[in-house]
Amino acid sequence: MLYYLFDWLQDMDFPGAGVFYFISFRASMAIILSLIISLLFGKLIIELLRKKQIGETVRDLGISGQIEKKGTPTMGGIIILISIIIPILLLGDLTNIYIILMLATTVWLGIVGLADDYIKVFKKDKKGLSGWVKVLGQVLLGLVVGITMLVHDDIVVRERIASPETMAGVEINDNNDELPGLQPGYTTVDVKNTKTTIPFLKENEFDYAALLWFLGDKAIKWSWIVFIPGIILIVTAVSNGANMTDGLDGLATGLSAIIGTTLGILAYLSGNIIYADYLNIMYIPFTGELVIFMAAFIGATIGFMWYNSYPAQVFMGDTGSLSLGGIIAVYAILIRKELLIPVLCGIFFIESLSVVIQVSYFKYTKRKYGEGRRIFMMAPLHHHYQLKGYPEPKIVTRFLIVGILLAVISVVTLKIR
């Protein structure tokens, strides 16, 4: 809303109003504002949750310090959601389709997570929202994101056109600027496609349509058959991965801040025509606004860590964890970096994988030997280390260090191919 106020002031030649056109300025304001909101309102929300006796229910699994967490206020993800949404409403361009999709993701998964926490706390049902209902919510989100990317006019990729002959019959956006250093005889055009980025490879662009190679010339037309299910799978997997990782004080929050910072850098580079050309990566018009969103996301997660670090004064619950994972997934998809997720979100991936391995092996051995056996002492993986006697803060710190390492590797992939 302030964005439009300053836009009007700029039209009125008000001195200094033009500063709001700079992404760097609004991103700085977004991170500061989200930090202030999470710190100031966080305490009030925690007190409200405590008065309403909205506390965590904990089963005794034999983990040291676990029972002490019983009664700690949960549903603290509300703090994160408010700290993201308010700065974006004030500082973001609400007509930008990328901002609209990110706000929809935040609100939608926040509602799904809130419903799950509500059932656990007020209905006293430890299972919470049915698993298939949560997955359905994630699937619907992935479906909406996928369809929007395919049909919305503003979601495009700017490509180089090799020769004038290639341009026959193609309508070029008059606002397109040629890339710096573009060779003579080359021009650029905004096109809709299902391309994404493959890390570590020199020819780093991959089109989902290539998976339908057997359709020949019709592959591009039918690429949505693999594109949309791929997006649904990514959204569901990352959202649930963040949810499984949220088991130790500050772990999911800290990792989300690290991942968010990396994605913010990638979004800035992909949305800047000069840096995109220099790094030889996809230039995606209109994605610069996503930097504002991620700045608010980073501020919200760091601010929440003030209360969520060990020993936690509040837990985010599914209200926060499902939203964080979904935001990360959709954001990566929009900037065409979703194939980088297994590296960047490596901790989420390993945590989820440990559960899959544990459950699968238990069922297999029970069927074969008559008794279930386990590979890990407990899954997800962080509980395995707890049962081995590692203090909770040490586990969190080491996981965060690994998270930072994976983030650095993710950024380095831009040049190492």
The residue length of the chain stands at: 417
Query: In this structure, are residues 268 and 2 in contact, taking their beta carbons and an 8 Å threshold?
Result: no
Q: Does 173 score more than 50 pLDDT? A: no
Q: Tell me which amino acid residue 325 is.
A: G
Q: Does a structural domain hold residue 358?
A: no
Confidence band, pLDDT 50/70/90 cuts, at residue 50: confident
Query: Contacts for 153-156 with beta carbons within 8 Å, 24 or more apart?
Result: 154/96, 154/97, 154/285, 154/286, 155/97, 155/98, 155/192, 155/286, 155/334, 156/190, 156/191, 156/192, 156/284, 156/285
Q: Does 214 score more than 60 pLDDT? A: yes
- List, in sequence order, every residue forming a beta bridge with 196; answer none if it has no partner: 206
Among 52-66, 304-318, 321-335, 403-417, where is mean pLDDT lowest?
52-66
Note the pLDDT of residue 190. 87
Q: Does a structural domain hold residue 293?
A: yes
Q: Does a structural domain hold residue 412?
A: no
Confidence band, pLDDT 50/70/90 cuts, at residue 321: very high
Q: Does a structural domain hold residue 116?
A: yes
Largest CA distance in the chain: 79
Q: Does 10 score more than 80 pLDDT? A: no
Residues above pLDDT 70, as percent of the chain: 86
Strands (E), 56-170: 157-161
Q: Does 327 score more than 90 pLDDT? A: yes
DSSP secondary structure code for residue 61 in this structure: -
pTM for the model? 0.91
What whole-number distance in Å separates Cα of residue 119 and Cα of residue 123? 5
Domain check: are 310 and 265 in the same one? Answer: yes
In order, the DSSP letters of 265-277 are HHHHHHT-HHHHH
Domain final position from 339, 354, 382: 339
Q: Does 158 score more than 60 pLDDT? A: yes
Q: Which residues of 67-104 are buried (b: 16+ CB within 10 A; e: fewer)?
A: eebeebbbbbbbbbbbbbbbbbebbbbeebbbbbbbbe
Average pLDDT of span 118-123: 87
Note the pLDDT of residue 36. 96
Note the pLDDT of residue 417. 62
CA distances from 90 to 25, 80, 84, 86, 139 (A): 13, 16, 11, 6, 30
Which residue in 264, 263, 268, 288 sits closest to 279, CA to CA? 268
Domain check: are 90 and 232 in the same one? Answer: yes
Q: Does a structural domain hold residue 232?
A: yes
Tokens of 62: 């034999």
Note the pLDDT of residue 22. 83
- List, in sequence order, every residue forming a beta bridge with 189; answer none if it has no partner: 159
**Is the dihedral angle over the CA atoms 92, 154, 342, 319 positive or is it negative?**
positive
**pLDDT, averaged across the chain:** 87
Confidence band, pLDDT 50/70/90 cuts, at residue 57: low
Q: Does a structural domain hold residue 81?
A: yes
Note the pLDDT of residue 17. 67
Alpha helices by DSSP H, listed for 15-96, are: 23-51, 77-91
Domain check: are 143 and 161 in the same one? Answer: no
Domain check: are 75 and 181 in the same one? Answer: no
Q: Does 146 score more than 90 pLDDT? A: yes
Phi, psi of 144 (to 5 degrees): -65, -45
First to last CA, the chain: 42
What whole-number distance in Å separates Cα of residue 253 and Cα of residue 248? 10
Confidence band, pLDDT 50/70/90 cuts, at residue 62: low
DSSP secondary structure code for residue 165 in this structure: G
Domain check: are 167 and 58 in the same one? Answer: no
pLDDT higher for 187 or 209? 209
Total domains in the chain come to 2
Confidence band, pLDDT 50/70/90 cuts, at residue 60: low
Domain check: are 149 and 161 in the same one? Answer: no
Q: Does a structural domain hold residue 10?
A: no
Domain final position from 138, 173, 191: 191
Q: Does 65 score more than 60 pLDDT? A: no
Domain check: are 105 and 163 in the same one? Answer: no
Q: Kindly report, residue by residue over 69-87, the tens digit of the pLDDT.
A: 777 888 999 999 999 999 9
Q: Does a structural domain hold residue 390?
A: no
Dihedral-angle region of residue 18 (phi above 0 means left; psi in -120 to 50 means alpha; beta otherwise): alpha
What is the residue range of 180's domain? 157-191
